[in-house]
Amino acid sequence: MSAVNITNVTILDNPAPFLSPFQFEISYECLVPLKDVEPSKSMLTRPVPNLEWKLIYVGSAEDETYDQLLESVLVGPVNVGNYRFVLQADPPDPTKIREEDIIGVTVLLLTCSYLGQEFVRVGYYVNNDYDDEQLREEPPQKVLIDKVQRNILADKPRVTKFPINFHPESEEHEQPAQSPHHLSENNDQEQLPLPSPSNNGQSE
């Protein structure tokens, strides 16, 4: 059983221009307290926050090297309770995407890891197209990125869960973390619940 569960994700400002920032309002629950990891004696740093949220833009279905990490946020310590925050990320750099892959359908991945072990991934299909009907019917040879609009299919997320060790201090053998990528994984998958009303604030 997972110690952390995503209860809702609301995508703000959607549809939006391709070059607009992403905004995801994420709600999650923590069922057991998660402490920060104490650094080793040789490290003169603060304790390491234990949850890491990432937003990844898949630039090509055939080549992972075109994936772009848009944002990475560390959270911790996390006590038992309900939480909510807004994850904001810059748009992908169009110069790092092949011209033929900008227009059309791609994937956006929201992942969460505990001490480097990914345990949940939410995948969304994203449709990029011109906001002008004439440009859609007669697309220019070179993509006019300022005329491209993205539309995240927010009502059809695919949630994939991975079993990990939430208690590394115990004697249990840790399971290897899964690397984030596309939506074709055959793991524990489910649909994310539809948006539901909740109170304002980080902790509920």
For the chain, the domain total comes to 1
Domain of residue 179: give its range.
4-190
Write out pLDDT tens, residues 40-80.
Answer: 544 445 555 679 999 999 999 899 999 999 999 998 788 99
Residue 86 resides in a domain: yes
**Four-point Cα dihedral 189, 193, 194, 198, nearest 10:** -150
Q: Does 197 reside within a domain? A: no
pTM: predicted TM-score of the whole model, two decimal places: 0.80
Question: What is the CATH classification number for the domain harbouring 108?
Answer: 2.60.40.1490
Residue 89 lies in a domain: yes
Residue 102 lies in a domain: yes
Task: Please report whether residue 150 resides in a domain.
Answer: yes
- Exposure pattern of 67-94 as b/e (b: 16+ CB <10 Å)? bbebbebebbebeeeebbbebebebbeb
What is the signed CA dihedral for 35, 36, 42, 45, rounded to 10 degrees? -150
pLDDT tens-digit map of 78-128? 899 999 999 999 999 999 999 999 999 999 999 999 988 999 999 999 999
